[in-house]
Amino acid sequence: MKATYYKHILEFKRPSGTSRGVLKTKETWFIVITSEGKQGIGECGILRTLSIDDRPDYEEKLKWTCTNINLGTNQLWKELKEFPSIQFGVEMAFRSLESKSPFLLFPSKFTSGEDTIPINGLIWMGEKEFMKNQITDKLEQGFDCIKMKIGAIDFEAELELLSYIRSQFSEDTIELRVDANGAFNTNDALEKLSRLYEYQLHSIEQPIKQGQQAAMKKLCAATPLPIALDEELIGIFSVTEKRKLLLTIQPQYIILKPSLIGGFRGTQEWIDIADELGIGWWITSALESNIGLNAIAQYTYSLHSEMPQGLGTGSLYTNNIEAPLIVEKGTLRYEPKNEWKVSYLD
């Protein structure tokens, strides 16, 4: 068994804004395992400045992983606990290697094209008119769940955009989620949540920066609007720590990004604890290429959640891997007749 790794820079079709800045490119890494004439492909989807494994020794750890690939997926997952994106890439690559096809990791009615996954339409930050145009496009494309990133432009302008959507569509027609990416100040966060509540929102992701557990606990207890933890989950490695975090903060939801929290196994640990505590959850991609998105989507479908998931990121790039993933009428569909094209990984 041998393993190699490749770096790939994904280029956004249009610079995409978050409260942490504007993204023009996205770095990702692929691990390819070969054994007895078969090939398995996994993606290590690091997000610079956000991933806990954004470290100077990242590539060195990738090299070590490939050198020690014979340790197998279980042992490597333990050894790589401080590198969740590599944990995920290794899990993905081994599952790919063991599958009948490198891209059918979790065969189901989704991969056979018989069923779809409901997803939210993502609205990126930008000038008010740009955001309004995105909203119009998503509604025309048939989305009935929209997620809007907030916290970068004027808050009043963001409220006007939400008001515009609600003037056209009731909460029974369009589900609205917002993602602050930690942009609110602890001093006025509750006031902002109260104002957002007027627009019948489903939830808000990470209103304040992670690492402020006492403040987040107070917010979750007092908020009129359900709060979903996102960045708060990053860097929490053990099951004991995960349980402690959720018991302390008691959020209404958690959002799971496998590349940031230790892959399938790390995600499942969070889900098991959340289910036990009555906390809702959904899964979101973290700007991976279609290799990672495909794995996340297939895994997500296997969990049988009826909530819209955050898996609509496949069309963001000019140089993504060509894949049979299609966004259609607010859902993600797998078209088995279409081919994968990953020739540069050969």
Q: Which residues are catalytic?
A: 149, 257
Contact 65, 42 (CB under 8 A): no
Phi, psi of 37 (to 5 degrees): 80, 0
Radius of gyration of the chain (CA): 20
First to last CA, the chain: 16
Sign of CA dihedral 170, 172, 176, 177: positive
- List helix spans (H) across the chain: 58-67, 72-79, 84-98, 128-140, 155-168, 189-197, 213-222, 239-249, 258-261, 263-277, 290-302
User: Of 313, 310, 110, which Cα lies nearest the Cα of 205?
Assistant: 310
- Under DSSP, the state recorded for 336 is T
DSSP, res 202: S
Question: CA-to-CA distance for 63 and 32, rounded, in angstroms?
Answer: 12
Beta-bridged to residue 49, according to DSSP, are none
Angle in degrees, 0-180, between the axes of helices 58-67 and 84-98, rounded to the nearest 10: 30
Residue 208 to residue 205: CA distance in whole angstroms: 9
The tokens describing 223, both together, are: 């908020």
Cβ neighbours for 38, distance < 8 A, ≥ 6 positions apart: 97
What are the structure tokens assigned to 88, written together? Answer: 């995920």
CA distance linking residue 71 with residue 209, whole number of Å: 37
